[in-house]
Structure 1
Amino acid sequence: MRIILIGPPGAGKGTQAALLHSELGVPHISTGVLFRQHVDGQTPLGRQAGRYLDTGDLVPDRITTEMVAQRLAEPDARQGFLLDGFPRTLPQARTLSELLAADGHRLDAAVEYTVPDEVLTERLLSRARTDDTPETIRNRQQVYRTQTAPLLRFYADILLTVDAAGPAADIAEKTLGLLRPCG
């Protein structure tokens, strides 16, 4: 199965991907992990991405998309994947569709995790990351609403929505229940 996970920061996409990947037998591909691997490995893409990451800026679509394209070409991802953190924008979504179509593939599902704002804020503040302040959380939620939420319309024909408030194992079961008819 080829699946993307969509949701605001704190919705639990990474947690769900970690729980789902073994059940589905596909790799969990996180852009955050890709960035760290490329930066730590000092690859050409990593050096380019590092300049943006060091200043707290978003890594441009061109660099992110190339990292994802390279990862999707690896043998373990040829039969499917769970993408966490990509696509985040409509241009990235269009590029992903083109990448998959070039190999005769398409996405099987886009899973949207919904959580009330107050629960998201509580989750993020409890993570104890230094960049998780109420102000940065509000900003990231706004960025999600303006840049990423439009993906919900783009993927409307394959969109599955899961209420992600509650225990992670229960959310994974709900997700698997919705995905079974897709695969």
Structure 2
Amino acid sequence: MSAVDEKKQRRVVWGALLVALLAVNYYWFKSPITIGFDPNDEKCLPDMHLSLLVKQHPTNVERGDLLFWEPSGALAYIKQAYVLKRVSGVPGDRLQVTDEEVLVNGEVVAMGLPLVDVTKVSTKAFERDEVIPAGKFFMTGTHPLSNDSRYWGYLDVGSVVGKGYKIF
């Protein structure tokens, strides 16, 4: 093998090694996919034990999708890296929250405000009848005692890290 061929082969090997190291770094430290689980005894999504979290800002979000984001504001007490909830309302939907039920476009998505006593705020402060604004999502859990948008308001589209998918 000539010196030129050896040099070329060495460059290819080093290039391949560099690409491999970059790929390992990307997937190891900034993996676009994460496995999620809820360690709490009472889960906001009790029928979900394990989920796949895809870190890609979604372009198309529909009612029923699962979204995740980093906890902040009223959810800053959460120790996990992400919060996962179901999209119950999208921009343009009519939202009605009363002490007895939560409706989106006339369909019941949650039952009332069972955590209102914990908040130490009057029920009236949470009641509303409005259209969900652009760039916002109304998020709920399926557990009756889920701490969700009924209490802390809309999720801003800019806060969304990605979509979640139920594994089991």
TM-score, structure 1 normalization: 0.23
* Larger helix share, 1 or 2: 1
* Larger strand share, 1 or 2: 2
Q: Which has the higher contact order (CA 8 A, sep 6+)?
A: 1
Structure index of larger Rg: 2
TM-score, structure 2 normalization: 0.25
